[in-house]
Amino acid sequence: MIVKHFEISKKTLAKFDLYLFYGKNEGLQNEIIKHKFILNFSGKIEKYDETEFIQNYDDIVNSILNKSFFDKEKIFIISRTTDKSLKLIENLKEINLDEIKIIFRSGALEKKSKLRSLFEKEKNLALTAFYQDNARDLTNIAFEFLNKNNIKLSREAVNLLVNRASGERKNLKTELEKIYNYSLSNKNVSLENVLKLSNLAENHAVNELADSYFLKNKKNIAKILNENNYSNEDCVLIIRTLLGKSKKLRVIIEENIEIRNIDRVISNFKPPIFWRDKENVKKQANSWDLNDLKEVIYKINDLELSVKTNSNQSLNLVSDFVINC
């Protein structure tokens, strides 16, 4: 059954136990899970990706069936869910989950997806789409935050943040928090301050490295790696830059498949692509197959997890990844 994200409430939570959240707006998914499910929740929260869910399925079911009085409230969050989990989910919907909620998270799902179809047709399952924020959505989020915290920021500075957030509200909110912290001791926040504060500001070496990856230019990638001594923090920024560019590129390729006019797609893209980047973006879009790009996005997410758990190897992990474009 289709449930829109703004319809999720206590009444909804009482009605559904199994949820499928899908779509490109990961930031909004995070907000809904945090504020509608986790906030004021005192029970246990368990998180798995799809591979772990499949491998540990029997243990998960046993913990549901044999829950104790003190362990009856649980939330399971399963990330990167695909049709591979379909049969297991069909089995789960036959179990009395009682006070247990299970949220399956996914990226974009095509209409022909069997998983999406299952949640859409079944009245006791909740299907919620999270579409990517457009420039107006992000601008509204920015001004709402600034007004709430009594921060004065020029329209030009807000537009800069929105343009560089790559359609991701979580990127935008991270930068707004930095501006808020800066404003506590500085009443006036200028465009120059925003540029200095923001990780989204142009970092030539990082951006050139990411562009070279999507251009499959191994020679330039090797040159950039040799010329720069990247820190662990730089490696995280590289990964997030790769992820932001890959998601933008995926949207461009998907739209071009429909209208078959890459110049028009790039010209009409929101937020606008800077004029000096348009030729590179065009070359990148023509260099990638959509399915290959989707696989790369999964691999970039895996890379971030590996870097976070093996920070002493972050540069080696990132270097190996980009050089094998």
Tell me the per-residue pLDDT of 238-273, one tens digit each, with 9 for 90 and over. 888 898 889 989 999 999 998 899 999 998 887 677
Question: Residue 192: its pLDDT value, please?
Answer: 82
Task: Please check whether residues 247 and 277 belong to one and the same domain.
Answer: yes
C-beta of residue 246 within 8 angstroms of C-beta of residue 293: yes
DSSP 164-197: HTTT-HHHHHHHHHHHHHHHTT-S---HHHHHHH
Expressed as residue numbers, the domain containing 105 is 5-129
C-beta of residue 235 within 8 angstroms of C-beta of residue 200: no
Task: Please check whether residues 193 and 244 belong to one and the same domain.
Answer: no
Predicted confidence band of residue 18 (pLDDT cuts 50, 70, 90):
very high
CA count, 13 A, side-chain hemisphere, 97: 23
Task: Please check whether residues 156 and 55 belong to one and the same domain.
Answer: no
Residue with the larger pLDDT of the pair 69 and 284: 284
Q: Among 129, 148, 176, where does a domain finish?
A: 129
Angle (CA) 81-28-131 rounded to 5° is 75
- 3-class DSSP assignment, residue 251: helix
CATH code, 300? 1.20.272.10
Task: Please check whether residues 144 and 113 belong to one and the same domain.
Answer: no
The whole-angstrom separation of Cα 41 and Cα 45 is 9
Predicted confidence band of residue 228 (pLDDT cuts 50, 70, 90):
confident
Tell me the per-residue pLDDT of 188-210, one tens digit each, with 9 for 90 and over. 788 888 877 775 544 557 888 99
Q: Which residues pair with 105 in a beta bridge?
A: 21
Total length of the chain:
325
Task: Please check whether residues 114 and 150 belong to one and the same domain.
Answer: no
Min mean pLDDT across 105-119, 156-170, 256-270, 290-304 is at 156-170
Burial readout 76-90 (b: 16 or more C-beta within 10 A, e: otherwise): bbbbbbebebeebbe
- 3-class DSSP assignment, residue 151: coil
Question: Residue 14: its pLDDT value, please?
Answer: 83
CA count, 13 A, side-chain hemisphere, 62: 4
